[in-house]
């Protein structure tokens, strides 16, 4: 993944109101079927990773693991995860990761 491009997409996503932060808010978007992708900071604890992995697997939402600190640096929001609402931002982020990871987000 091109970190510079992902940072730009994340910043635009936040400014467009297409991002949700906080564990409870993210969980609601994921389980409610409104999330198109979830970005998880690489510094998240094992327990946090497991919760998000389980929620995303159940809801069939792509989970994208970011380098540690990139989420806060790009968005200015503290926290470990960001749910991206369904739409063009989520689609572009998934494509960005698929290109880099050989077809897997």
2-22 pLDDT, tens per residue? 899 999 999 999 999 999 999
The phi, psi pair for 35, rounded to 5°, reads: -90, 130
3-state secondary structure of 6: helix
Enter the pTM of the model. 0.90
What DSSP assignment string belongs to 44-103?
A: --HHHHHHHHHHHHHHT--EEEEPTTHHHHHHS--SSEEEEETTHHHHHHHHHHHHHTTS
Residue 105's alpha-carbon distances to 1, 15, 16, 39, 54, in angstroms, are 10, 23, 23, 10, 16
Domains of the chain: 3-100 (3.30.1330.30)
The phi, psi pair for 69, rounded to 5°, reads: 90, -15
d(CA 37, CA 98): 13
Residue 64's alpha-carbon distances to 39, 104, in angstroms, are 5, 10
Mean pLDDT of 72-78: 92
19-46 pLDDT, tens per residue? 999 999 999 999 999 999 999 999 999 9
3-state secondary structure of 42: coil
């Amino acid at each position: 993944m091109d970190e510079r491009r992902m940072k730009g997409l994340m910043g635009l996503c936040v400014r467009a109101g297409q991002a949700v932060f906080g564990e409870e808010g993210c969980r609601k978007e994921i389980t409610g079927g409104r999330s198109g992708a979830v970005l998880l900071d690489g510094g998240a604890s094992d327990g946090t990773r497991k919760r998000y992995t389980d929620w995303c697997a159940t809801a069939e939402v792509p989970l994208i693991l970011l380098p540690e600190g990139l989420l806060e640096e790009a968005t200015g929001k503290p926290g470990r995860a960001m749910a991206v609402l369904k739409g063009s931002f989520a689609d572009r982020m998934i494509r960005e990761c698929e290109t880099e990871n050989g077809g897997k987000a």
